[in-house]
Amino acid sequence: MIYAGGMVDRNTVKKAVKGVDVVYHLALNWDGATWKHQNPIPDLFDVNIRGTFNLLEEARLEGVKHFLFASSGAVYGNGDLEVVDEESPCKPELFSGEPGPAYGILKFATERLCLLYYHVYGLPVTALRIGYVFEPPSKGEIHVEDVVQAFLLATLNRKAYGQVFNVACEPTVSTRKIRENLGWKPKFTSRTYKVHPLEI
Amino acid sequence: MVKLEALVAGGGGFIGSRLVRALLARNWSVRVLDVQYGDLENYRGKLEFFGVGSDDLRGGYG
């Protein structure tokens, strides 16, 4: 039997959030474990927007201490800037990487919804704009353990509330903000080209 | 010290499962909201799961 009992189901989310101190939102309904979008884009937006709202609403009502969201470097699109920092313009509709611009727009939209709950309700929210993650990383990619470190450093850290941080690979993406504010120091700088693609 | 508790939505995924394990290593209680156990198959006894086996895309609204 197929049923919607994940983040789209408000009762499931209510039970899952009840009593927790911190919510990490890394969930994405796409095409299972692929980077494609064979499902209709409106359907993808329906479930992901609704699911994000369910998590945010329950976090707000439950008085969760910190809500951390896995955003994406795809929100910047593919501009002509040499280096993007958190203040750079976002044009996710121009994102040409996998799984396409709809993913960038979805991540941007859901990131902004999370920040809405910070500004309107005072829910402590942090968004990490994560770059391409591989294990081990090659040039231009970031190691998954460095992403985990970024989440842990941000957790329950007041300097992270209401903030967006790049978590990616220098030099095309600036990580100055997270390094200077949260003390993030990526440990892995491997140049190995064996890759392990993933999705978040 | 009071034990902290986290919900990791998407905890079965590549980054999520690593985050879950890192939180467990720091003595957090961890819940996972995901449609699958994913990379946490071996941690089923240590975690509370929500939503496994569901399909938000094809199952319609619950």
Is B61's CB within 8 Å of A133's CB?
A: no
B33 located within any domain: yes
Quick: pLDDT tens for A164-190.
Answer: 999 998 778 899 999 999 999 988 754
A79 located within any domain: yes
pLDDT score of A23: 98
Instruction: Domain of residue B36: give its range.
Output: 5-50
Note whether B53 contacts A: Cβ–Cβ < 8 A.
Answer: yes
Distances from the Cα of A52 to the Cα of A16, A78, A109, B29, B37, angstroms: 13, 25, 10, 22, 20
B60 located within any domain: no
**Is position A103 annotated as part of the catalytic site?**
yes
A20 located within any domain: yes
Look up the CATH number of the domain holding residue A50.
Answer: 3.40.50.720
CA distance A126 to B34: 21
Asked which of A20-34, A65-79, A185-199 is least confident by mean pLDDT, the reply is A185-199
B13 located within any domain: yes
Nearest residue on chain A to B20, judged by CA atoms? A148
pLDDT score of A194: 36
A4 located within any domain: no
Of A70, A178, A181, the residue nearest A125 (C-alpha):
A70
pLDDT band at A81 (very low <50, low <70, confident <90, very high): confident
Helix (H, G, I), strand (E, B) or coil at B12: coil
pLDDT score of A32: 64
B57 located within any domain: no
B59 located within any domain: no
pLDDT score of A199: 36
Report the residue of A3, A49, A54 to disrupt the B interface, i.e. the one with the largest count of B CBs within 10 Å: A3
A94 located within any domain: yes
Of residues A4, A28, A145, nearest to B18 (C-beta): A145
A178 located within any domain: yes
The residue with greater pLDDT, A153 or A169, is A153
CA distance A178 to A74: 18
Number of domains in chain B: 1
Of residues B22, B33, B53, nearest to A152 (C-beta): B22
Res A43 pLDDT > 80: yes
Which whole number is the average pLDDT over B46-54? 93
Is A12's CB within 8 Å of B13's CB?
A: no
A104 located within any domain: yes
pLDDT score of A200: 34
Q: What are phi and psi of A170, to 5 degrees?
A: -65, 155
Q: Both tokens of residue A92?
A: 């996710």
Q: Both tokens of residue A109?
A: 């939209």
Res A125 pLDDT > 90: yes
Which whole number is the average pLDDT over A2-9? 84
Number of domains in chain A: 1
Tell me the residue type at A66.
H
A120 located within any domain: yes
A64 located within any domain: yes
Is A3's CB within 8 Å of B54's CB?
A: yes
A119 by Cβ neighbours in 10 Å (0-12 / 13-18 / 19+) ranks as exposed
Kindly report whether the global pTM for this prediction surpasses the value 0.95. no
Dihedral angle, C-alpha A142, A146, A151, A152, nearest 10 °: 180
Q: Of how many residues is chain B composed? A: 62
Chain A nearest CA to B44, separation (Å): 16
In sequence order, the 6+-apart residues with CB closer than 8 A to the CB of A142 are A130, A131, A132, A133, A134, A167, A168, A169, A186, A188
What's the DSSP call for residue A119? H
Is A26's CB within 8 Å of B57's CB?
A: no
First to last CA, chain B: 38
Look up tokens 């969201």; give the residue.
Answer: A69
Instruction: Domain of residue A120: give its range.
Output: 10-182
pLDDT band at A36 (very low <50, low <70, confident <90, very high): low
